[in-house]
Structure 1
């Protein structure tokens, strides 16, 4: 599976400019299975979404659908969305045929006030795409391993983020931890640049189940990275070292 991660410098509250930037990158690549963009990639991370969040008939979502069809790929990334009077940090996974799966961020970033205006999701979402099971996660979710615990039900976890520079080493360490403990590939996509509140340096990477970096973007630069993942290697590793079979059982309440 070929995955391209886009570490973009997001223009504040300007979906058309951010889509144009993403298109420039996407059009350079062929034969890609999934393009992954950061958290709230069309606007930047906002905790006061009035006047910034997109509507349920989001133009960004329509662009994702058109691009997925045109490039015969999946498009993944979150946007700030207003739906029936509520605001969500919604991670869209758009299939080439136009089918859309989505995950509403469960762990809202209370330290930054995200919980004051946004509504948390409650449903864990795993997407089946080209024979691969993919868990959808957003930013702060990375700090809560129970929510992402692999129950032998996914192969790749995707984390899209707006993770500030002062805590970027935590981001990098936790991406590796989630890959190792869940015996899966982890795709972590963070932004670069500035918004009204924070600076971002990136640290986007694809991590193997061994905790090794498969592909990574250069810190501080708007760029992309390409990872070719051999899912048969993951299957072989799990057979050889079936650690997930010994995981503790639990229920989320």
Structure 2
């Protein structure tokens, strides 16, 4: 049975290609939360480095420094911590999201849609499978940034209750970011979260954040721009379940499979 779910969303600047600086700075931000205050902490895409193509210099094992930092915070907060970083496995590089639980166990998702405008597909391997995970009875699907533009990949055929995107989405395309998050919420009848960074990256691209939460009908519950903060709010499963029961749009989806 689903319980109310409290989520905390960390919108921050990121030091360019400097994991140690980011670990230290994000530590100070996470300290704003008390143990037991939240169930889930969501970090931006590539939270250790910014959106960098310098994988040969920055990649780390799946259970490297990023995992250790996330596991430490998950244990301290007694909450799941999630976000993506540059991972290396079997000689290949991945934009890899970790879902780290308080007991140190974890799952991962590799970004499916690589951002060709930045040459991401020339550096990283694409993911091949979704991650469907569970927290307090909620089925949750986390995705990464550019995945947002491809609605087929986020189709709610698996019966998930919460859709999450972690991102480094530049401010010049902020209208698309907010519009597509609302669209994903509406078409999938789910709470939808988008966590983005603020500040200018090492390539000179500014980011406005626009970290957002939309409900199952596309109504905004949170929209925050151009500020560093940790935003915490609680999601009500009963309202979503009732909405889906009254308006059974998901039953009428087209039936097809991805190959």
State the TM bucket, normalised to the shorter chain.
over 0.9
Match of 1:10 in 2: 14
Match of 2:210 in 1: 203
Higher RCO (C-alpha 8 Å, min separation 6)? 2
What's the CA shift for 1:152?
4.5
Distance in structure 2 (CA, Å) of the matches to 1:9 and 1:187: 19
5+ residue gaps, structure 1: none
Residue range with higher mean Cα deviation, 171-180 or 80-89? 80-89
Residues 1-253 of structure 1 mapped to structure 2, 5 A cutoff = 1-30=5-34, 31-197=37-203, 198-217=205-224, 219-253=225-259
5+ residue gaps, structure 2: none
Distance in structure 2 (CA, Å) of the matches to 1:41 and 1:143: 21
What's the CA shift for 1:176?
0.3
Q: Deviations over 1:58-92 (max 9, x none)?
A: 21111111111121100010001112211000011
SS across alignment from 1:177: helix
**Aligned 8 A contact 2:23 2:48 in 1:** yes
What's the CA shift for 1:28?
1.4
**Aligned 8 A contact 1:216 1:225 in 2:** no
**Aligned 8 A contact 2:33 2:77 in 1:** no
Distance in structure 1 (CA, Å) of the matches to 2:166 and 2:69: 18
Q: Deviations over 1:173-193 (max 9, x none)?
A: 000000000000111001011
Distance in structure 2 (CA, Å) of the matches to 1:142 and 1:232: 26
Residue range with higher mean Cα deviation, 15-24 or 176-185? 15-24
Q: Please report the TM-score for the alignment, with normalisation by the length of structure 1.
A: 0.96
SS across alignment from 2:210: coil
Q: Which segments of structure 1 move beyond 4 Å, counting only runs of 4 or more?
A: none
How many pairs does the alignment contain? 252
SS across alignment from 2:10: strand
What's the CA shift for 1:16?
1.9
Q: Please report the TM-score for the alignment, with normalisation by the length of structure 2.
A: 0.94
Distance in structure 2 (CA, Å) of the matches to 1:6 and 1:24: 12
**Aligned 8 A contact 2:182 2:219 in 1:** yes
